[in-house]
């Protein structure tokens, strides 16, 4: 399936669901700052990759998928859980790009312009995430042929 | 005041990435944004202003261990949701302990 924008799915998300993520995002950013202040940048830095927002996003995806099936007259379904699993699989691929973001900032920030390095790290994250997404379809080994 | 700025900037950047993720299809691709560097961008920007480049670079080094812990966390979630069909909310919250084990394990290695 090709990558595309689906505005209908944005309309399904209610304002309080966005508010929840805003509050969570703000809270984890404050918490990360406080942890770094009291325990130092090495421990605080771990929380720059804490999956704080992921549970709310996955729960939302499950709920939307379940509601869609209910409206179609299917009250019991595991489609929501499978959709959340797909989201988690995407996030797993994204973590490799997230680590690359960290490597770029760690290695290049002390010697170069900070704004340029943050922008470059974001670009590396984005390009690598798309590359990994595309690469999932490549075959590393040739298809198995039965003998005889 | 600094905490308020941190809260607003973090909330805004996280919300922006969440909106982008909600509007993208297929779902697996949108999932990539679940591991977007939103909190990292907000935190590093403010750290640069208050504590300087060396401090921010140290945070970024630890972030690499945090990201690998996130990978372990996401794989655990994939297994429990796709194979065991557990509900998303309790699974994704309970598995945060996997992140903790891997992140602090990584931190212990970095500290050696």
ipTM of the prediction: 0.91
What is the predicted pLDDT for the residue at A65? 78
Distance of CA A63 to the CA centre of its chain: 18
Q: What is the mean pLDDT of chain B?
A: 89
Per residue in B65-88, pLDDT tens?
Answer: 999 999 999 999 999 998 888 888
Report how far residue A133's alpha carbon sits from residue A127's, in angstroms, rounded to the nearest whole number: 10
- Compute the distance between CA of residue B106 and CA of residue A46 in angstroms, rounded to an integer: 9
Q: Can you give the pLDDT at residue A16?
A: 81
Residues 22-41 of B with CB under 8 A from A: 22-41
Over residues A27-72, the pLDDT tens digits come to: 999 999 999 999 999 999 999 999 988 888 888 888 877 877 777 7
User: A6 and B23: CB-CB below 8 Å?
Assistant: yes
User: Are the C-beta atoms of residues B65 and B112 closer than 8 Å to each other?
Assistant: no
The CA distance from A25 to the nearest CA of chain B, in Å, is: 4
Question: Count of alpha carbons within 13 Å of B25, Cβ hemisphere only?
Answer: 10
Inter-chain residue contact B11 with A26, CB threshold 8 Å: yes
* Residues of B in Cβ contact (< 8 Å) with A80: 88
DSSP letter, residue B84:
S
Task: Give A38 to chain B, closest Cα distance, Å.
Answer: 13
């Amino acid at each position: 399936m090709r990558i595309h924008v689906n505005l209908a799915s944005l309309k399904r998300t209610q304002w309080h669901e966005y508010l929840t993520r805003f509050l969570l995002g703000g809270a984890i950013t404050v918490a990360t700052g406080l942890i770094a202040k009291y325990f130092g940048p090495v421990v605080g830095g771990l929380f720059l990759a804490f999956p704080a927002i992921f549970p709310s996003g996955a729960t939302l995806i499950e709920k939307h998928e379940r509601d869609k099936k209910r409206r179609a007259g299917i009250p019991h379904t595991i489609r929501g859980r499978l959709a959340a699993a797909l989201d988690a699989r995407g996030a797993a691929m994204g973590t490799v790009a997230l680590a690359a973001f960290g490597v770029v900032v760690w290695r290049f920030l002390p010697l170069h312009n900070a704004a340029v390095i943050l922008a470059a790290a974001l670009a590396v994250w984005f390009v690598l995430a798309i590359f990994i997404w595309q690469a999932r379809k490549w075959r590393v080994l040739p298809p198995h042929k039965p003998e005889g | 005041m600094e905490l308020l700025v941190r809260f607003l900037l973090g909330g805004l950047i996280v919300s922006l990435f969440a909106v982008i993720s909600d509007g993208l299809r297929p779902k697996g691709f949108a999932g990539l944004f679940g591991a977007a560097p939103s909190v990292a961008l907000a935190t590093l920007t403010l750290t640069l202003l208050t504590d300087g480049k060396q401090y921010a670079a140290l945070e970024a080094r630890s972030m690499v261990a945090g990201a690998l812990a996130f990978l372990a966390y996401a794989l655990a979630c994939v297994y429990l949701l796709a194979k065991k069909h557990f509900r998303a909310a309790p699974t994704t919250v309970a598995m945060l302990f996997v992140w903790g084990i891997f992140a602090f394990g990584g931190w212990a290695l970095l500290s050696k």
